[in-house]
Amino acid sequence: MTSSTTESPVTVEEEVLYSSTVTAVGEQVATFVEGHGILVFFGVDSPVELHDFSALHEATVATAGPRTGDVIELGGARIPVLAVGSVVEANLLNLGHIDLKANGAPEADMPGDVNLPVDTLVVPSAGDTFRILRPAGPVASPEDRS
Amino acid sequence: MSDYKSVTISKGRGGWGGPLVITPTADKPLIYSVTGGGIHPVAARIAELTGGQAFDGFKSSAPFDKIAVAVIDCGGTARVGVYPMKKVMTVDVHATSPAGPLASFIKEEIFVSGVGVNDVVEK
């Protein structure tokens, strides 16, 4: 199911925690991304009322959610994760749901937030690959997951 | 159909909004759980006390005009606003407050958060 389009190569030192392919992009996604710096994903099985503002995706790897210091890769762009709320992993693994916020903030305001640097999000396209990558070696400390 | 009972749902620790009084009717019987892992215990409790019908939103879709209350496990951005925007009473099991692109729809008359099973009581 992995997209055959070009992806930035994963070095052997990175672990792929999550990998999916975008299957559809709702009409409101551009407004969320360009107006609010927010990109919402849901799994393809999510209720239809959530599809308008969501990028739907289908995962082939789903082992863990992100934590501070991981890298979000979307459509070939690599974006560092600044902070992660407490319910992000459960929502991602259970529902395929994740809220990316390009707010540059060092702490997650809401339990579902994944903070990224400002102006790092673009509107995805169907067929794009979404991945969460974890560098090998020393990892972020546990309190970063609070 | 006078078999339905009312419950009062209050905010839990760190929560916001409410309290909401929920009374299913024959026209609006559904306790709509839009949560991971099947029917959430809070939705099950509301259904048990009211006589409403617990419904898993990730298994199939429900018509909005049949929903007495939506129970979500939203982290604060999307689902917190979607259901209030559609005038559906909304219970978030996580302690969120109005935020996100749809924040303007989140009012204390229609939304309550941080809700646990013990925050649902018979009215």
Q: For residue B88, give every residue at least 6 positions away whose Cβ sits within 8 Å of its Cβ, in sequence order, or none.
A: B32, B64, B67, B69, B70, B110
Do the chains contact at A112 and B77, CB–CB below 8 Å? yes
pLDDT band at A81 (very low <50, low <70, confident <90, very high): very high
CA distances from B19 to A49, A84, B43, B115 (A): 25, 29, 16, 10
pLDDT band at A146 (very low <50, low <70, confident <90, very high): very low
> Of A141 and A19, which is predicted with more confidence?
A19
CA distances from B51 to B37, B48, B67 (A): 22, 6, 13
Distance of residue B123 Cα from the nearest chain A Cα, in angstroms: 30
With beta carbons under 8 A apart, name residues in chain A contacting B77: 38, 40, 99, 101, 110, 112-113
A11-48 residue pLDDT tens: 558 999 999 999 999 999 999 999 999 999 999 999 99
ipTM: 0.88
Q: In the numeric block, which tokens belong to residue B41?
A: 């215990």
- Cα B119 from Cα B123, distance rounded (Å): 12
CA closest to A28 among chain B residues: B101
Q: Could you give the percent of chain B with pLDDT greater than 70?
A: 98
Question: What's the rounded mean pLDDT across residues A118-143?
Answer: 85
> Are A133 and A16 a contacting pair, CB within 8 Å?
yes
Partner residue facing B75 (CB), from A31, A48, A85? A85
Burial A15-53 (b: 16+ CB within 10 A, else e): eebbbbbbeebbebbeebbeebbbbbbbbeebbebbbeb
Question: What's the rounded mean pLDDT across residues B35-60?
Answer: 95
Which of B67, B77, B85, B113 to probe by mutation at the A interface, max A CB count within 10 Å?
B77
Do the chains contact at A87 and B94, CB–CB below 8 Å? yes
User: Is the pLDDT reported for residue A6 higher than 70?
Assistant: no
Do the chains contact at A112 and B76, CB–CB below 8 Å? yes
User: Is the pLDDT reported for residue A53 higher than 90?
Assistant: yes
pLDDT band at B60 (very low <50, low <70, confident <90, very high): confident
Distance of residue A13 Cα from the nearest chain B Cα, in angstroms: 31
Structural domain boundaries in chain A: 14-135
Distance of residue A47 Cα from the nearest chain B Cα, in angstroms: 6
Decide yes or no: CATH 3.40.50.720 for domain A14-135.
no
User: Is the pLDDT reported for residue A139 higher than 60?
Assistant: no
B63-119 residue pLDDT tens: 999 999 999 999 988 999 999 999 999 999 999 999 888 999 999 999 999 999 999
> Of A2 and B22, which is predicted with more confidence?
B22
User: Is the pLDDT reported for residue A1 higher than 50?
Assistant: no
Has B87 been annotated as catalytic?
A: no
pLDDT the model gives residue B2: 57
